[in-house]
Amino acid sequence: PDPLAAMAQNENQFNSDTETGGLAPLANANADVNAKFDKNMAFLNKYQFPGTPVLIFQDTQGNPMSLYGVSPDDLNKTIQSMAPFSG
């Protein structure tokens, strides 16, 4: 019911040794979940991103940038280099 809370739980309880998250995988995902998964996988494949997480943003000069598999230190540096959101 709360995707953001689920993502936080999964990340906060991630086990690097076993490469598993803090949530058990769904045994039978519904059609909506499967459709979202398929859409995300098609995007990753189309643009040849090798894994997740993927960040797509503009730097402060307006150049398009992408970053994947980012460490917490790199994430902080990346956030500092992003242009402000102009929605």
What average pLDDT does range 11-21 have in this prediction?
84
CA 8 to chain centre: 11
pLDDT for res 34? 92
Quick: pLDDT tens for 33-87: 899 999 999 998 998 888 777 888 888 888 888 888 777 677 778 777 777 776 6
pLDDT for res 42? 95
Greatest distance between any 2 Cα atoms in the chain: 45
Report yes or no on whether pTM surpasses 0.85. Answer: no
Count the alpha carbons within 13 Å of 7 in the hemisphere toward its beta carbon: 5
pLDDT for res 87? 63
